[in-house]
Structure 1
């Protein structure tokens, strides 16, 4: 079987591709770049807060950490399966949803993805803004959020190559900073005594699993955006392992620290709950070393917030292009969309700072209900029904193979959301099955399994995948092996 020939080059300073197919002559990079990107993106303060939530909402620190690890493994597997699609498809993650939902039908989950990006960008900006304010005191907390937003716009506008560069920087900075925090934690506190407090409680254990699984699963709609430039013949297992290990290791490290921080702070009056960034600075030792830790926080948050802005911009373009049929956009369009996106997220951040931790917990768990069915449908179709064969040009044509609307898939998606409702454990609503389970939220697991079981026979009957992978003609006239499945 023929291999697609690629020319590995880094491309222009400012990325010129957006939602269009990345020609094989422009593919470059190695799977290890996925490790550093996702490790660095998870070495950040919001992941620490997520780990702390497991303890703050009732879990024992030891069992909370175990639950967080299980959730990271489960969610990281789904996340990395999405990442492995990137090199083969050569396009943003949500464009591939058109193969399941139709060119117009895919806009429905796309709108929900945009909301997700805005939510994470806004909640992340709250904590990053606090860190910026500690580094450069202005007397106005909102200015820290605005400064952070400007930095995000800069990197997201430059594009793919600089996002990966930031991931490498964040990996190094995160390892140094978080290692120092861990050492200080063990030197200043009796961590062993904290781990021995309390006992196993099934509902809070499941809550810890849900928090970390939700953290990983919400990467699914954009993780392939950052692997799509890899050569098409990159072995899928290498992409999977790189993304999986980077994301799971980075998030588990951060969440473990968060669980321990919360357990240490709880007897002292919820110090961590009241001010996460200030707590980290105090633990670091105050003074200049605290400022360095605030810089670590800003770098980590900048990495993941750039992913949100970049992914949000491409998701908006994907929605718009479904109706306009436009495939390529100039770099200035990215700049305009990113500015608009970050402006909205900054406004949300400024007005959503109060009661941040509680709102964040509910936000993460709510996202699970929405995105679990999407992930299940996308993965079942790609790996089990289509057998990793996609007609890429048809993804841009509502009159093509995938059509405008795939009603059976959309109905299955709706079912996947509805079946979770009785199992929800939200502040606004607690399902009857949740009460039977003692307050444990397993809605994400129900949605994952039920959607997959229902969708598989539906896809076998209604989907019409190509016999081989079909690529578009290379827009730059570079040699491309069309209708050839790359060796992986």
Structure 2
């Protein structure tokens, strides 16, 4: 299989191929892994019973995936990576602002995956903690470097393998007796924990927004936007929702799911546990390769905007992606023994910085410009989008600031978070920047 030759540039129509059904398998399989499962355990850890946790998870996934799938529909229409589109809103150089945040978020999630997989790798390889994390990072790098086509094919394979694995675990787990009150809906509701679980599930699905169009941009331009949306939506909703529900079930039955989810899965397979662990690790390698691939795209978008470049050589791609993988691996090694609070914080923190970007991008695409862009000008600082769009940058900052009164992290508990009892910043992070951007730009574009 050839290494992908396209990176940040427009994909010519002659090179477009594929069917939107590929989007189902890539997003289904991207969620069919134990990091998603950990998100499903958090409601149980917070004190919700199984029934209310499941309802909160489904609600959060259903809401968050709407925005994720809306981004996916942009890919075939424009034929460029997701974050390049930010140049139309922020300016060619101004887009570096959200891109840097985006890059850092991908690096942190890549590091988190390395920590989660450490013990799973050690279950079938006789290596130390650091070596396990380094091996995981190296394999993720190879898949990400080869690129788009391998990632899609890998996703199709892992849809089957991970789907079978988690189905077997679910069947075996459902044979175990549930604790008393696990499925009671009366007198067991805890509003604070319920709201927090909805937010965490929504945050997980919203987190795909900054790179989802990267994996639909090779589709032909005449592909139905509805097909692109629904294949992405259903794949992501089923993948994330089913695995999170399984996580909630396992957290109800077992005590060690959150700290070592891979071993919890392996415990269901007895003498076949090592094979199960290999499938578990491969599943997370897929999502990790997505993170690395899109971190590279974001980093290069910043750099090329400054240099006026439209293409990236393979050697530059290799170096840039390798440096990103090394940085993520180093962070994983350094944070591996304080993982739970680290993962909770980055899951929530992405809401503060990535969701305002998503809101602005979607408002511009669907409500303001309605899909009408000059792609060539996104690579030209002297084009219609200019170097900087300070009004958008200010709106983005206001969007981030709107989350401050609702923040709730391990080191900071805001006023409203203490009153509500949980972090609900994803709501203002969506509404405030989208409303401000639409109101500021609507009249300007109506008169063009």
Aligned partner of 2:435 among 453, 468, 484: 453
* Cα drift, residue 175 of structure 1: 0.9
* Cα drift, residue 462 of structure 1: 5.0
* Cα drift, residue 192 of structure 1: 7.9
Q: Which digits, 9 at most, give the CA deviation of each residue in 1:17-67, with x for residues without a partner?
A: 010000000000100000000000000000000111121122222111111
Q: Which digits, 9 at most, give the CA deviation of each residue in 1:208-231, with x for residues without a partner?
A: 111111101111110000000000
Q: Tell whether 2:40 aligns with 1:51.
A: yes
Aligned partner of 1:351 among 334, 343, 346: 334
**2:4 corresponding residue in structure 1:** 15
In 1, Cα distance between the equivalents of 2:129 and 2:402? 42
DSSP 3-state at the match of 1:458: helix
- Superposition pairs for residues 108-119 of structure 1, below 5 Å? 108-119=97-108
Contact 2:108 2:328 in 1 (8 A): yes
**2:137 corresponding residue in structure 1:** 149
**1:442 corresponding residue in structure 2:** 424
In 2, Cα distance between the equivalents of 1:462 and 1:109? 23
* Cα drift, residue 128 of structure 1: 2.0
Contact 1:49 1:357 in 2 (8 A): no
In 2, Cα distance between the equivalents of 1:58 and 1:370? 28
In 2, Cα distance between the equivalents of 1:214 and 1:33? 24
DSSP 3-state at the match of 2:126: coil
Contact 1:133 1:143 in 2 (8 A): no
Q: Tell whether 2:296 aligns with 1:307.
A: no
Q: Which digits, 9 at most, give the CA deviation of each residue in 1:276-326, with x for residues without a partner?
A: 2222222x1332x21122112111101100000110111111000011111
**1:74 corresponding residue in structure 2:** 63
**2:126 corresponding residue in structure 1:** 137
**1:408 corresponding residue in structure 2:** 391
* Cα drift, residue 436 of structure 1: 2.4
**CA distance 1:112–1:462, shift in 2 (3 Å):** farther
- Superposition pairs for residues 363-374 of structure 1, below 5 Å? 363-374=346-357
DSSP 3-state at the match of 1:194: coil
Aligned partner of 1:222 among 211, 219, 225: 211
Aligned partner of 1:424 among 395, 399, 407: 407
* Cα drift, residue 340 of structure 1: 1.1
Contact 1:409 1:458 in 2 (8 A): no
**1:167 corresponding residue in structure 2:** 155
Q: Tell whether 2:229 aligns with 1:240.
A: yes
DSSP 3-state at the match of 1:352: helix
Contact 2:37 2:244 in 1 (8 A): yes
**1:277 corresponding residue in structure 2:** 262
Contact 2:259 2:340 in 1 (8 A): no
Q: How large is the RMSD of aligned CA atoms in angstroms? A: 1.7
Q: Which digits, 9 at most, give the CA deviation of each residue in 1:317-360, with x for residues without a partner?
A: 10000111111112222222221111111111111111312221
**1:327 corresponding residue in structure 2:** 310
**1:286 corresponding residue in structure 2:** 270
Contact 2:60 2:202 in 1 (8 A): yes
- Superposition pairs for residues 259-274 of structure 1, below 5 Å? 259-265=248-254, 270-274=255-259
* Cα drift, residue 435 of structure 1: 2.4
Q: Which digits, 9 at most, give the CA deviation of each residue in 1:441-477, with x for residues without a partner?
A: 2211022112221111112245699x8xxxxxxxxxx
Q: Tell whether 2:83 aligns with 1:94.
A: yes
DSSP 3-state at the match of 1:442: coil
DSSP 3-state at the match of 1:387: coil
In 1, Cα distance between the equivalents of 2:430 and 2:163? 33
DSSP 3-state at the match of 1:271: coil
**CA distance 1:47–1:348, shift in 2 (3 Å):** same
**2:112 corresponding residue in structure 1:** 123
**1:484 corresponding residue in structure 2:** none
Contact 1:182 1:257 in 2 (8 A): yes
Instruction: Name the TM-score, length of structure 2 as normaliser.
Output: 0.96
* Cα drift, residue 141 of structure 1: 1.6
Give ranges in structure 2 of 5+ residues lacking alignment.
none
**1:471 corresponding residue in structure 2:** none
In 2, Cα distance between the equivalents of 1:329 and 1:112? 21
* Cα drift, residue 70 of structure 1: 0.8
In 1, Cα distance between the equivalents of 2:329 and 2:297? 19
* Cα drift, residue 190 of structure 1: 3.0
Deviates more, 1:59-68 or 1:227-236: 59-68
**1:3 corresponding residue in structure 2:** none
